Structure 1
Amino acid sequence: MDESTREFLDDLLTTPSPSGFEADVQRIWVDYVSEFADEVRTDEYGNAVAVVEGDDPAVAFTGHADEIGLMVNSVDDEGFVRLSRVGGTDRTVSKGQHVEIHTDDGIVRGVVGQTAIHLRDPEDEELEDIAEQHVDIGVESETEARELVDVGDPITFDTPIRELEGTRMAARGMDNRVGIWVAAEAARRAAESDVDATVYAVSTVQEELGKQGAKMVGFDLPVDAALAVDVTHAVDSPDLGKEKDQHGEVELGAGPVVARGSSNHPEVVRTVRDAASERDLPVQLQASGRSTGTDADAFYTSQGGIPSLNLGLPNRYMHTPVEVIDTDDLDAAADVLAAFAADSAGRDGFAVDI
């Protein structure tokens, strides 16, 4: 990953984008793809589509721009902010965290309160739901708090990017700003290689609320295949213990993950695997006997069926403020997708041979 592409990744990761509030990160993504795309467009909810014009077939590389978070649900008499979830926020990691409340007038900082260990009953350590937790913004009354925040203001954890050893890094919201980075980078690399196929790069909104942006985009996206890039669980950390075998074989740093089964079209799977193999690009495999839980599940039932694939990016500690990825996996994923576009040029779709 060179300096400019790493700067792009850092800009995405440091820009808050909870579901329903993705505009700021979408602007960064649109600015980046505008440097090489022949056309860039957005829709009413902020989904963004870039097109690199070519011949048949047309293929799409997609990711979702939104992240999980919190939201101001109410303010109590003492000025403490009560919370609701945005997406699948984990109640086990929220307490004791620094947060930022994103208001119309700027950022209000606070902390999610946690009772000191000295004052808790050791026999009653039940985890409080998000709705029972609160943010302390330092005021003493409801009136003071309401002058600063409104109900419905989004909240994100204030977690900076941390460099770990080698090519590994930690941050919140890897899910799924790394996916829109790969989608953009794959399209850029395909454009620079002058591939003959038409390539769409797509950054969707509100995936964490039920793949809503992909449903909007998939309604009329004129493509022959859609490859959704999203994080997937790396199972090579000790927190999974003896249950590792239940979660597959995905490792951090061993390459992007090709899902097989369910929404993952067998011909698209084969083409991706062949493209990677011919270029000695690393890929891992993952069983997907039911849904993938990604935008691929929305694309593959659109328009009577778009051949689709979920390409996973290994991620430790998903849906926490300290998600860990390996940037080598991101680079490999972008190369694999660009190779897929090159090898797809000239073919007449991806229909299963019956």
Structure 2
Amino acid sequence: MVAGAATGTAQATPVGPVDLGTLPGDDESTVLAVNEVGEMVGLSLAGPAPKRSHPVRWDATGQIMALPTPGGTEGQVRAINGLGVSAGYVLTATTAVPARWDAAGQATLLQLPPGYHNATAWAISDTDVVVGSWLTPDDRYHGFRWDPDGVVTDLGTLPGETWSMADGISADGTIVVGSAVRSAANQAVRWVDGGPITELAPQSVSSGASRINGDGVAAGSFRVTSSGPPVPAKWDRDGVLHPLDWPSPHSVWIYGIGSTGYVVGSGYLNPPRRSALIWDLDGDVAALPDDGLGADAESVNAHGTVAGTFRSQATVWFLDGERRQLGTLPGGTRSQGYRITDNGRVVGTASNAAGKSRAVYWTLG
């Protein structure tokens, strides 16, 4: 693919959306993550803003199950691994406590060290390692790692600095990516095999690489000068930098990386409009077809199929360039696509006839 819009042939018609429903008494829901088996996790919500959030899991057929919140009545589940083990946090009366729910839905809470508080888990590996961030006794954000044997590690900061955050982890649990401060700017960092924090090269004015796939390949951007545009990039499993094509002097953002290395994001490739973007396996960029109206690309799978939103509807773009809107619930007017699996399940949200937002999924033919 080359810079600009691509065209292609039609694909089989997607099936859905399937309304995933809510827990009894709740009125809205959202799905936040899905694994390759089709198991999904997210939130069942109730009440006016701020809504009460209840962590839930749906099996591959869409059956909902409440995840317990020991010590609290609310919480969030943010990630699920390939074996159906999920991670998030429980809100108690005084703090947030990370939780790991096994494949049967049983909860284990992380016991926080003395003085540590407001700890939230963001990602989990297929080896059940959980990573996230917490506040230290002196109220500094630090990343943490929670191993299956219960050992928890403060991941620390760059030398002489004060905060870090752990955002993602490889499937085997050996590579953690996140952010840390250096010289009052955000920097992309990682931790390998339980080792110390290291900054991803090149050392630049600022950088970020919070997206990671199962093989440990990270995606993000770095800024060479404070006034220049960010440079999109991938960092391979060894931490080697691979800049991505960006022929524009304008802004660009990275939103997702697929299991084989496709990258998606958004940016001003053809100003003045902002385009949804895909980078192929050679690092070449293309704008996804949007009829000049703009679109959002959120996720990409192994085959280069992109999930996102176009004209207020969840949409997929196939690698040959064909675009397909996925539709809405009966009586609803809006939908969004957030994640896509390698076997063609798209998850997101859609409004129903009552105007409520519901977790949904589609299956690509």
Normalised-by-shorter TM-score class:
under 0.3
Larger Rg: 1
User: Which one has a larger percent strand, Structure 1 or Structure 2?
Assistant: 2
- TM-score normalized with structure 2 length: 0.23
> Which structure ranks higher in relative contact order (CA pairs < 8 Å, sequence separation ≥ 6)?
1
- TM-score normalized with structure 1 length: 0.24
User: Which one has a larger percent helix, Structure 1 or Structure 2?
Assistant: 1
